Structure 1
Amino acid sequence: MHIDLTGRTAIVTGSTGGIGLAIAKGLVTSGARVVVNGRRSPAVDRAVRDLSALGVGKAEGFTGDLGTAAGCAALVAAHPSCDILINNLGIFEPKDFFDTPDEDWNRFFEVNVMSGVRLSRAYLPGMKERNWGRVVFVSSESALNIPVEMIHYGFSKTAQLSVARGLAERMAGTGVTVNSVLPGPTLSEGLADMLRPEQEKTGRPLEEVAAEFVMTHRPTSIIRRAATVEEVANMVVYLSSPQASATTGASVRVDGGVLSTI
């Protein structure tokens, strides 16, 4: 399958590293013009430089905190139109329910949910008018498999599924699709940093330590390892493509079989 996104503009939120950067790379290599985003200019500049070095597509940067209404408004002002919106921005933090104050619930809602709500509200009308567009929410298997150690995170990921499904129905009859992707444990920079002390202590390969982590915390995993960021990005790029025109309103799992359901 050859995915050609030449002439399409994509915005990927939270894309200076991890899954977001892998998605940006996949879109750029498919010929798209991609706007990458982060809160710090050095990280944004580095991502743009690395993507530009691929020699295909085009990469631009936007520095701003999209976990705020002001940050979203600034992005829309700088880039008023796009064909592909990837709502990837997200935060997570293990914290017991009884130790999680209102401020944390509000912060997770603002960053994980409202960033996608605000940007979808801004960009979907243009997609509908042009009768083509793709919106993808990067959720998590934690949306369905609520982690007891961070219920507030699971809540925010479930909310994304509701928003995405509702928006898909709102765009019914148009050439605009809205979907969610549910990654499972993924060996991004965040997980790698968390596992680094164990890896350094034992001298084992990081992938082996990650696999042990997966089987301890998500023993239902069928692949029995952490996914790579590229494996998740591949699904997002497909859903962003013309080839995925009949897939909308879906929650597509890239969870390695963690969810024990058909």
Structure 2
Amino acid sequence: MKIDLSGKTALITGSTAGIGYAIAKGLAGSGADVVINGRGRDKVDAAARKLEGTGAKVRGITADVSTAAGCKALVTALPDVDILINNAGIFEPKNFVDIPDEDWSRFFEVNVMSGVRLSRAYLAGMLKRNWGRIVFISSESGLNIPVEMIHYGMTKTAQLSVARGLAQLTRGTGVTVNSVLPGPTMSEGVETFVKDLAKQNGQSVDEAAANFVKQHRPSSLLQRFASVDEIANMVVYIASKEASATNGAALRAEGGIVNTIA
């Protein structure tokens, strides 16, 4: 199967590094015109230059999608997209009793409302053109709520609800809305987290990563962290024309952590 997204414009939020950048690279490799997004101009420009070096057609737009104003600025700069990847997100392990109201609100704004606002802005155009892809990068934490960061799990469950509801608005059209659920993935942010764990426990990074999976995700069939490219592969497929029969789905790329046959 050859995925060809020539002529399609793809916006990936939070794509200066990690899973987001890997998705941008994968979509660009399939012929899409890619838009890199992040909050810092230097990081956006650096990521765009890096991707341009592969021969991709890419531009960068600096905007903070955790705010209504930032989403509005992004949509003003890019009025239409064919593929929207709602990837921007934050996580932070914290004991439930220590999570203040401000953190609950901040996580919801970044992880949920960014996707809500951008989907609201772009869905109508997709429906008018009768083709489009919206993908929410959720997490297995949306199904297996992690006790070490319940506020994060809450936002990932919310994304699944929003995505399914939006998919129902596309009935009978060429537009699809799906979620992808990564498990523990060795992105830059997670790598820093694992390095901190290794330092705290006097372990190597590999030992800390393996122990994290064993202790916190013991049901994993993969028994390791996934790579960002492994997650991106799923996203590129679901954004493709070939995935036209998949709509309203929560697609697991979490290594079998969720112990269910569905």
Q: What is the TM-score of this pair, normalised by structure 2?
A: 0.96
Give the Cα–Cα distance (whole angstroms) in 2 for the partners of residues 203 and 142 of structure 1. Answer: 26
Q: Structure 2: any 5+ residue segments left out of the alignment?
A: none
Q: Relative to structure 2, which stretch is displaced further, 143-152 or 78-87?
A: 143-152
What's 1:17 paired with? 17
Contact (CA 8 Å) 1:16, 1:44: kept in 2 or not?
yes
What's 1:254 paired with? 253
Give the Cα–Cα distance (whole angstroms) in 1 for the partners of residues 203 and 69 of structure 2. Answer: 45
- 1:66 aligned onto 2:65: yes
What's 2:191 paired with? 192
- 1:140 aligned onto 2:139: yes
State the one-letter code of the partner of 1:128: L
What's 1:91 paired with? 90
Measure how far apart 1:209 and its partner are.
3.5
What's 2:209 paired with? 210
What's 1:81 paired with? 80
Measure how far apart 1:17 and its partner are.
0.5
Aligned partner of residue 61 in structure 2, secondary structure:
strand
Measure how far apart 1:198 and its partner are.
5.3
Give the Cα–Cα distance (whole angstroms) in 1 for the partners of residues 20 and 126 of structure 2. Answer: 22
State the one-letter code of the partner of 2:40: R
Contact (CA 8 Å) 1:187, 1:210: kept in 2 or not?
no
Deviations 1:73-124 (A, max 9, x none): 0000000000000000001111122211111111111110000000000000
Give the Cα–Cα distance (whole angstroms) in 1 for the partners of residues 17 and 207 of structure 2. Answer: 22
- 1:54 aligned onto 2:51: no
Aligned partner of residue 215 in structure 2, secondary structure:
helix
What's 1:28 paired with? 28
Structure 1 ranges of 4+ moved more than 2 A: 197-204, 206-209
State the one-letter code of the partner of 2:15: S
Aligned partner of residue 7 in structure 1, secondary structure:
coil
Give the Cα–Cα distance (whole angstroms) in 2 for the partners of residues 59 and 212 of structure 1. Answer: 39
What's 2:115 paired with? 116
Give the Cα–Cα distance (whole angstroms) in 2 for the partners of residues 146 and 159 of structure 1. Answer: 12
Aligned partner of residue 149 in structure 2, secondary structure:
helix
Identical columns (%): 65
Measure how far apart 1:225 and its partner are.
0.3
What's 1:164 paired with? 163
Contact (CA 8 Å) 1:207, 1:226: kept in 2 or not?
no
- 1:41 aligned onto 2:71: no
Give the Cα–Cα distance (whole angstroms) in 1 for the partners of residues 101 and 196 of structure 2. Answer: 31
Q: Structure 1: any 5+ residue segments left out of the alignment?
A: none
- 1:226 aligned onto 2:225: yes
What's 1:241 paired with? 240
Give the Cα–Cα distance (whole angstroms) in 2 for the partners of residues 62 and 214 of structure 1. Answer: 35
Give the Cα–Cα distance (whole angstroms) in 2 for the partners of residues 197 and 109 of structure 1. Answer: 26
Give the Cα–Cα distance (whole angstroms) in 2 for the partners of residues 185 and 246 of structure 1. Answer: 28
Q: CA RMSD in A?
A: 1.3
Q: What is the TM-score of this pair, normalised by structure 1?
A: 0.96
